[in-house]
Chain A
Amino acid sequence: MALVALHEIAHGRAGDKGNRLNISVIAYEAAAWPALLREVSEARVLALFRHRGATKVVRYVLPNLMAMNFVIDDVLEGGVNSSLSVDAHGKSHSFRLLDMEIEAPDALQRRSQRAECP
């Protein structure tokens, strides 16, 4: 096992509604899916966003898509109509989540080291 940044094994996108943000985390390869499920918990995601006032995280799992959807409450400092943040929508936060490091098998393919597609 080794520590690997989510960004090397998963991709995702964030979207806002009011003061709530959802962030998808999607495995690039099937081999990474069990590690994502085991490591990227509601508690760890909440810890990552607590400094911005996040109160609750719900994780939805879509095995067909090898995807998880995190819904994070109260994380946008009021949301697009009252935030003082540069990114009032919070759209950039997908990459804060993808910066999380998790324990994953050594053999897992890192996206940055993959062979170029033809």
Chain B
Amino acid sequence: MAGNFLVGCGAGFSGDRIDAAVSVVAAIIASGRPGALIFETLAERTLALGHRARKNNPEMGYDPLLPEFLPLILADCVRNAIPIVSNFGAANPPAAARLIQRMAQELGLEPLRIAVVDGDDINGVVDMRSLEVCDGDASLVGDETEIVAANVYLGAKPIADALLAGAQIVVTGRVADPALALGPLVAHFGWAWDDWNRIAAGTLVGHLLECGAQVTGGYFADPGFKDVPSPETIGFPIAEVSADGDIVITKAAGTGGAVDLLTVKEQILYEMHDPAAYLTPDVTLDVTNVTLEQIGPDRVAVRGAVGHSAPPSLKATVTYPGDWLGEAEISYGGPNALARARLAGETVRRRIVLRNLPVKIRIDLIGTQSIFDSDDGALGTEGVPEPAEVRVRLAVSGVAQKAVDQSLQEVLALYTCGPAGGGGVRSRTQNRIKTVSYLVPRNAVSPRFTFLEA
């Protein structure tokens, strides 16, 4: 429709398909309409890993897939005036901006106007002890010397401001995911920040797009119940948005996947708690009056987002070093596999107790009952039908890496000391993080953008 602005999404998490943005950008260009491309790639763990990477190398700390995502579409976006907005700056947006400038040079493009949004990193800026905890383990609070990362979820304003100042690329660290879409919409339509229903509509666009293919048939297929065509070429979402905030969710023609009432409903409620009060830095979004209509193949109209004033404080997530998680697995198949698997699990458990290793233990019999059970095996595997094969999984956690590694080694030792026929041992240990979320007064934070110097 004339007057529409298009927002396409090229990634829904760090680790998404690297070529997904190609068909999205081609469709925006083919539409002849103005548009923007967003990548949402920043989870709490990704950000914490980024801060650790930056500590080792001051030019690292951005999303590890950035060098893969961008070169495929950068030239097309620049030549067609499609700004790219993303939180792939992670723990180091300036370094990401410098990398993108080098990419542009390698592609033979003129130097780009790349904006870097900052103000989200409050480590050393705000005293956490003065803040109200809103989620997480409050016992961690006060251990400020050990902070890995402390970032406020910023809103869409610095993104919109950067675009209005002529940015071709906007690189952010931590912003609220929907702000990636709301920023370009506000910049294009000139919506007032207290025009709550339009701000709500733009936020709903972001919420529907932020997980990429999850609204176009990804994370959806249930064969025989909910079938999805060609999941290997699934088209990532494109929102067509009007100046009044009417939304149509669609995807590029000729791609796999599906956009229908079912896919959109599942994504509206994804990671949502109270549907009348979805809190973002820009607006309190109410989706309880939203209506959907299938207006064409792979086209769903979304109407009725309602906005209320933005919450008085911003959310910050602070990451602390966590414990060590160790996992080791071994498989048993054929006659009496379940009994041998049970014996293997029990043997490992007794060895860890015998050696007095200070770890928390969980044993899963994968293929019988594992993902739905509890650490203490409350559901159990009594009476489950004899499976063709079982994978025994030991999971341990503890503050001492050595005890975790020693526990895993007991699975390896099953090769000679365990039940008959065990095979395929794999094990890995990883360092975890812990997070606490705080409420930060808005006046304690100064969101802004700056252009990367050419």
CB within 8 Å of B: which residues of A? 7, 11-13, 15-18, 20, 22, 24, 26, 28, 51-53, 60, 62, 64-65, 67, 69, 71, 77, 80-82, 84-87, 92-93, 96, 111-112
Contact status A77-B375, CB under 8 Å: yes
Contact status B366-A86, CB under 8 Å: yes
Residue of B265, B269, B374, B375 most packed against chain A (CB within 10 A): B269
Interface string of B284-328 (1 = CB under 8 A from A): 000111111000000000001000000000000000001101000
The distance from the CB of A98 to the nearest CB of chain B, in whole angstroms, is 9
Interface string of B310-349 (1 = CB under 8 A from A): 0000000000001101000000000000000000000000
Secondary structure dominating the interface of A: mixed
Contact of A53 (CB < 8 Å), options: B273, B360, B374: B374
Contact of B265 (CB < 8 Å), options: A17, A65, A112: A65
Contact status B370-A81, CB under 8 Å: no
Mark the stretch among B77-85, B106-114, B154-162, B219-227 that contacts chain A. Answer: B219-227
29 residue pairs A–B, Cβ–Cβ below 8 Å? A7-B225, A12-B266, A13-B220, A13-B266, A13-B270, A15-B271, A15-B272, A18-B435, A18-B437, A24-B265, A26-B262, A51-B378, A60-B274, A62-B269, A64-B288, A64-B290, A64-B291, A64-B304, A65-B268, A65-B292, A67-B269, A71-B274, A81-B432, A81-B433, A81-B435, A84-B362, A84-B397, A85-B364, A96-B372
Contact status A11-B378, CB under 8 Å: no
Number of interface residues of B (CB under 8 A): 54
Beta-carbon contacts under 8 Å, B351-406 to A: 360-362, 364, 366, 370-375, 378-379, 393, 395-397
Contact of B269 (CB < 8 Å), options: A13, A18, A112: A13
Residues in B whose Cβ lies below 8 Å from that of A85: 362, 364, 370-371, 375, 395
Interface string of B259-286 (1 = CB under 8 A from A): 0001001111111111110000000000
Q: Does B98 contact A (CB under 8 A)?
A: no
Q: Does B135 contact A (CB under 8 A)?
A: yes
The answer for the CA separation of A20 and B397 in the assembled complex, in Å, is: 21
Contact of B225 (CB < 8 Å), options: A22, A92, A111: A111
* Contacts A77-B375, A82-B434, A86-B370 given; does A69 touch B360 at CB 8 Å: no
The answer for the CA separation of A15 and B210 in the assembled complex, in Å, is: 14
Residues in A whose Cβ lies below 8 Å from that of B272: 15, 22, 69
Q: Does B136 contact A (CB under 8 A)?
A: yes
Given A67-B268, A81-B45, A86-B395, 8 more pairs with CB closer than 8 A: A22-B271, A52-B373, A65-B265, A69-B273, A81-B434, A84-B362, A85-B362, A93-B371
The answer for the CA separation of A15 and B224 in the assembled complex, in Å, is: 23
* Contacts A64-B291, A65-B292 given; does A52 touch B435 at CB 8 Å: no
The answer for the CA separation of A78 and B427 in the assembled complex, in Å, is: 22
Contact status A11-B226, CB under 8 Å: yes
* Contacts A62-B275, A84-B395 given; does A92 touch B266 at CB 8 Å: no
A51's nearest neighbour on chain B, judged by CB, is: B378
The answer for the CA separation of A17 and B287 in the assembled complex, in Å, is: 19
The answer for the CA separation of A26 and B225 in the assembled complex, in Å, is: 13
Residues in B whose Cβ lies below 8 Å from that of A16: 271
Residues in B whose Cβ lies below 8 Å from that of A87: 371
Contact status A11-B225, CB under 8 Å: yes
